[in-house]
Amino acid sequence: MRTPVIAGNWKMYKNIAEAVDFVEKIKPIADKAAHCEVVIAPPFTALAAATKAAKGSKVKVAAQDVHWDKEGAHTGDISPGMLLDAGCTHVIIGHSERRHDHGETDEQVNRKLKAALAAGLAAIVCVGETLAEREAGQTREVLERQIRDGLAGLTPPEFSRIMIAYEPVWAIGTGRTATPEMAAESHRQIRDLARNEFGEAEAAGVRILYGGSVKPENIGGLMAQEEIDGALVGGASLKVDSFAALINFPR
Ligand code: PEP
């Protein structure tokens, strides 16, 4: 039984006061949602305040990125220990905006992932193809490479501490969602790849979230798919009402 996860990726939105206000309002809604886990990913500047506001509730706080080193001369970067210090339990790694805006590679995703897991953080690892790759019939190949290289060297117990977010790049922030069937097909491929790399039980247990223009209006159809274990949501996670509706997705 895979407990669904509803995760909000706030990207570069919300100051500290806005983040705290959001957490205060979403806490009672998340606490009543026995059917799912709730994660929010504020920007770095609001992490400590958000985790303080979320304390004692079901709301877990994720960072949107992490560096692999414990400390060092890495201007602008944040270490796993710093995220723990800010109260984070989770971190998003390999989001397509990091891959595209910052040239992040699967190798770097792998280093970040190993460092995050070693520090005790849970990770949400993002994978997904671009429109050009989908149109060229390369979706499976891309997912295969991202899973193989991004998760390389993880032990099965380490693998059991990650979630995978399938986020087709062409669906992120575009209003264009993969149909539930398209998403489920990619999720099945990812689970097959995980089975080959990590074994039957680990593959059966890993939560695979869908991301890409998920909204209250379309989450029901997505979550009705057996293969879809939750959602990583950008735009629709920024307003309390819509995030609350996502948490209480039709069941
Ligand atoms: C995301 O940021 O991971 C995302 C899926 O964004 P959106 O829901 O806005 O498409």
Q: In terms of Cα–Cα distance, which of 12, 6, 59, 14 is closest to 245?
A: 6
- 102 CA distance to ligand 1 middle (Å): 17
Q: Quick check: 96 pLDDT over 90?
A: yes
Ligand 1: atom nearest CA of 97 is 2
Q: In terms of Cα–Cα distance, which of 96, 91, 164 is closest to 125?
A: 164
Cα separation, 176 vs 189, in Å, equals 21
Centroid of chain to Cα 133: 21
- 168 CA distance to ligand 1 middle (Å): 10
97 lines ligand 1 (CB under 6 A): no
pLDDT at 177 (0 to 100): 85
Question: For 165, phi and psi rounded to 5 degrees?
Answer: -110, 115
Is position 18 annotated as part of the catalytic site?
no
CB burial readout 181-213, b (16+ within 10 A) else e: eebbbbbebbbebbeebbeeebbeebbbbbbbb
Do residues 124 and 112 make contact, with C-beta atoms less than 8 angstroms apart?
no
Provide CB contacts within 8 A for 32, sequence distance 6+. Answer: none
Is position 167 annotated as part of the catalytic site?
yes
pLDDT at 173 (0 to 100): 87
Find the mean pLDDT for residues 114-128. 98
Q: Return the SS3 of 68.
A: coil
pLDDT at 40 (0 to 100): 98
pLDDT at 176 (0 to 100): 86
- 9 CA distance to ligand 1 middle (Å): 7
CA distances, 160 to each of 4, 174, 199 (Å):
15, 31, 11
Q: Which domains does the chain have, with CATH numbers?
A: 5-247 (3.20.20.70)
Centroid of chain to Cα 100: 17
190-205 pLDDT, tens digit each: 999 999 999 999 999 9
Pocket test for ligand 1, best of 9, 12, 209 (most atoms within 8 A of CB): 9
8 lines ligand 1 (CB under 6 A): no
149-190 pLDDT, tens digit each: 999 999 999 999 999 999 999 999 888 888 999 999 999 999
Residue corresponding to tokens 């400590």? 48
Cα separation, 205 vs 31, in Å, equals 24
Ligand 1: atom nearest CA of 236 is 8
Question: For 186, phi and psi rounded to 5 degrees?
Answer: -65, -35
168 lines ligand 1 (CB under 6 A): no
**Exposure of 111 by Cβ count < 10 A (0-12 exposed, 13-18 middle, 19+ buried)?**
middle
Residue corresponding to tokens 């979320």? 54
